[in-house]
């Protein structure tokens, strides 16, 4: 009896090249199918670049190389042509081949500015993996190319739609978003890792660029660390965090804070306002840190804040004596900034300057209630910019790590957002998948925006570019 025919799908069957001068990439001989895919990919890339006005041959080759759409220079063919004839035409042809080879070699280590590319290693492609920009994999490939968003403004994470990773999302153009899919078309389980690298940028755009990665619908967000090597949390202004203080001292603070907010809304006398402000100030100053370790660095933040407030005051609102006293305390405080030897000296200057700011003498209208001190103490607790929403929290993979509750009142819950930090100056994000089954499809959505609440985000960044490359490879 004849052996039964192999009914296995042969769509991925690899056919060897028959030409004596076989095409290679990265030193490895390609199959006929790989050669065909690279050629088709180069044609598609050329069309895509022309659509966005890029017609330069050099820029095409640089981009194609970054996506793996190139062939090694065929040394055997060059030698064959040399030995066939030494006439000038053959010599020029050989020199042309050398020049093209040099261009490819240059392209391997050079990336085209501002593009977003996705590619995979040859080993991963040979193992049966493919990528696509649509879930039905009508055109599976080993590389994808996407033009960047241009002239995007600085926005807030709150402006990112909750359904940004879903097909029916309506995008504003104020951020970059791209979805791609990875499928295992092989016969075996496999592990792979992916790396999103920054291959080019201008105007230090990465300092204010925030990124979301949706991995099969689960989101994490990332940003470059701040100047102190810590996550660039939002709000960026100093606010008090419940997790840093003992429950007893925090409970007293919350009671004083709630009382202050009630007084602010319905106070009938200046004595009530002053008492609420004093109670809240005492609760803040009496907070006990959980670790109990005092930092050696001197804290100038409150003093600098008072100096800023003093600079906005008007002389006509003070008496001659109280204005003179205010100017005296301002000068004394300015001498201390970044020069004080002890925290006690700074605290004393804070007390004197605060007293001068709110002492208007006989010029104050006794019939008008003064909430300035109370409002300042309230702002010391949580600042003015705390989030009262937790954008995309429901989709976050680790919400307890990235959304910190800094305050809970009867009306609102206030959040601090904590991004994961970039891996390094050149690698933004990386991840991995294990035990990927045959036929399994993984979905990734990348969202990039200029975070307007990040201190590094200014309008000067607009017009800069950020080139990113996602590279997938098998884990041995």
Q: What is the mean pLDDT of residues 190-217?
A: 93
Q: Are 305 and 335 in contact (CB under 8 A)?
A: no
pLDDT of amino acid 105: 33
Same-domain check for residues 172 and 49 = no
**Cα–Cα distance, 297 to 133 (Å, whole number):** 51
pLDDT at 90 over 70: no
Instruction: Report residue 109's pLDDT band, with 50, 70 and 90 as the boundaries.
Output: very low
- Segment 156-184 shows an average pLDDT of 93
- What is the band of 69 on the pLDDT scale with cuts at 50, 70, 90? confident
Percent of the chain with pLDDT over 70: 78
Q: Are residues 96 and 152 in the same domain?
A: no
Classify residue 408: in a domain, yes or no.
no
Cα distance between residue 355 and residue 317, in whole Å: 15
**Is residue 13, in this structure, part of any structural domain at all?**
no
Please indicate, yes or no, if residue 184 is contained in any of the structural domains.
yes
Q: How far apart are CA 20 and CA 75, in angstroms?
A: 12
Give tens-digit pLDDT for 303-345: 887 787 788 788 887 788 888 888 998 999 898 888 888 877 8
Task: Using the predicted structure, report yes or no on whether residue 392 has a pLDDT greater than 50.
Answer: yes
> Does a structural domain hold residue 44?
yes
121 φ, ψ to 5°?
-70, 160
Does residue 400 form part of some domain?
no
- Of the candidate ranges 65-74, 202-211, 225-234, the one whose mean pLDDT is the lowest: 65-74
Residue 390 lies in a domain: no
**Cα angle 39-32-55, degrees, rounded to a multiple of 5:** 5
Q: Tell me, what's the pLDDT at 236?
A: 60
| Domain final residue pick, 363, 382, 401 | 382
Model pLDDT for residues 365-389, shown as the tens digit of each residue: 545 777 877 877 777 776 655 677 8
- Which of 83, 108, 133 terminates a domain? The answer is 108
Judge if 367 and 246 occupy the same domain.
yes
Per DSSP, the residues of 159-226 read GS-TTTTSTTPPP-SSSEEEEEEEEE-SSS-EEEEEEEEEEEESTTGGGTEEEEEEETTEEEEEE---
- Are both 207 and 276 inside the same structural domain? no
- Mean pLDDT is lowest, of 51-65, 108-122, 328-342, for 108-122
Mean pLDDT of the region 445-473 = 87
- pLDDT score, position 187: 93
d(CA 436, CA 443): 13
Q: What is the mean pLDDT of residues 176-195?
A: 95
pLDDT confidence of 360, banded at 50, 70, 90? low
Task: State whether 192 and 319 are in the same domain.
Answer: no
Under DSSP, is residue 388 helix (H, G, I), strand (E, B) or coil? coil
Percent of the chain with pLDDT over 90: 27
Out of 68-82, 229-243, 254-268, 274-288, pick the least confident.
68-82
Place of tokens 């499928």: 183
**pLDDT at residue 220 in the model:** 97
Q: Highest-confidence range of 43-47, 114-118, 179-183, 362-366, by mean pLDDT?
A: 179-183
What local confidence, expressed as pLDDT, does residue 1 receive?
36
Same domain? 146 vs 100: no
pLDDT score at 228: 63
Range of the domain at 279: 242-382
Q: Under DSSP, is residue 94 helix (H, G, I), strand (E, B) or coil?
A: helix
Residue 404 within a domain: no
pLDDT greater than 80 at residue 439: yes
In order, the DSSP letters of 288-333 are: -BSS-PPPSS---HHHHHHHHHHHT--GGGS-HHHHHHHHHHHHHH
- Residue 200 is assigned to a structural domain of this protein: yes
At residue 87, the pLDDT reads 47
Find the mean pLDDT for residues 106-132.
73
Range with top average pLDDT, 71-80, 190-199, 229-238: 190-199
Report the pLDDT averaged over residues 156-175: 91
Residue 282 has pLDDT above 70, yes or no: yes
**Total tally of structural domains belonging to the chain:** 3
Range with the poorest average pLDDT among 376-380, 416-420, 452-456: 376-380
Dist CA 433 CA 63 (whole Å): 27
Are 343 and 260 part of one and the same domain? yes
From 63, 83, 108, give the residue that closes a domain: 108
The verdict on 209 and 84 lying in the same domain is no
Do 159 and 41 fall within a single domain? Answer: no
Average pLDDT, rounded, for the chain? 79
**CA separation for the pair 128, 105 (Å, rounded):** 27
Q: Based on the domain organization, do 265 and 291 belong to the same domain?
A: yes
> For 47-54, what is the mean pLDDT?
74
Cα distances (Å, whole numbers) of residue 297 to 37, 121, 302, 342, 348: 60, 49, 14, 9, 17
Instruction: Assess whether 364 and 268 both reside in one domain.
Output: yes
**262 and 217 share one domain:** no
> What would the two tokens of residue 36 be?
């065909």
């Amino acid at each position: 009896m004849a052996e039964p025919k192999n009914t296995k799908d042969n769509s991925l069957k690899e056919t060897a090249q028959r030409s004596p001068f076989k095409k290679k990439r990265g030193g490895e001989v390609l199959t006929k199918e790989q050669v065909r895919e690279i050629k088709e990919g180069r044609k598609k890339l050329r069309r895509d670049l022309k659509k966005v006005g890029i017609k330069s041959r050099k820029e095409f080759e640089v981009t194609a190389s970054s996506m793996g759409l190139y062939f090694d220079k065929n040394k055997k063919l060059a030698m064959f042509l040399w030995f066939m004839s030494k006439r000038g035409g053959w010599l020029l042809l050989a020199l042309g081949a050398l020049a093209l080879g040099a261009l490819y070699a240059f392209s391997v280590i050079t990336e085209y500015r501002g593009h977003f590319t996705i590619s995979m290693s040859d080993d991963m492609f040979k193992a049966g993996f493919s990528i696509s920009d649509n879930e039905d994999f009508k055109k599976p490939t080993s590389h994808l190319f996407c033009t960047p968003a241009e002239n995007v403004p600085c926005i807030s994470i709150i402006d990112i739609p909750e359904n940004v990773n879903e097909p029916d999302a309506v995008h504003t153009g104020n951020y970059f978003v791209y979805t791609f899919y990875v499928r295992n078309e092989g016969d075996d389980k496999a592990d792979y890792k992916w790396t999103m690298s920054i291959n080019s940028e201008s105007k230090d755009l990465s300092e204010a660029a925030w990124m979301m990665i949706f991995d099969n619908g689960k989101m994490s967000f990332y940003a470059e660390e701040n100047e102190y090597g810590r996550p660039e949390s939002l709000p960026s202004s100093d606010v008090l965090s419940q997790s840093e203080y003992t429950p007893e001292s925090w409970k007293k603070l919350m009671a004083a804070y709630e009382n202050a907010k009630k007084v602010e809304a319905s106070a009938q006398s200046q004595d009530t306002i002053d008492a609420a402000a004093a109670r809240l100030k005492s609760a803040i100053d009496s907070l006990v840190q959980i670790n109990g370790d005092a930092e050696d660095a001197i804290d100038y933040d409150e003093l600098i804040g008072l100096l800023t407030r003093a600079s906005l005051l008007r002389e006509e609102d003070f008496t001659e004596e109280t204005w003179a006293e205010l100017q005296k305390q301002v000068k004394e405080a300015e001498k201390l900034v970044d020069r004080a030897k002890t925290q006690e000296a700074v605290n004393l200057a804070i007390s004197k300057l605060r007293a001068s700011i709110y002492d208007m003498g006989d010029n104050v209208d006794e019939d008008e209630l003064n909430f300035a001190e109370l409002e300042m103490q309230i702002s010391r607790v949580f600042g003015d910019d705390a989030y009262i929403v937790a954008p995309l929290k429901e989709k976050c993979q680790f919400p307890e790590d990235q959304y910190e509750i800094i305050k809970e009142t009867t009306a609102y819950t206030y959040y601090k957002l904590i991004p994961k930090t970039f891996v390094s100056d050149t690698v933004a994000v990386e991840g991995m998948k294990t035990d990927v089954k045959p036929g399994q499809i993984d979905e990734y959505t990348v969202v990039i925006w200029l975070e307007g609440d990040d201190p590094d985000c200014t309008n000067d960044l607009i017009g800069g570019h950020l080139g990113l490359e996602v590279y997938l490879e098998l884990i041995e």
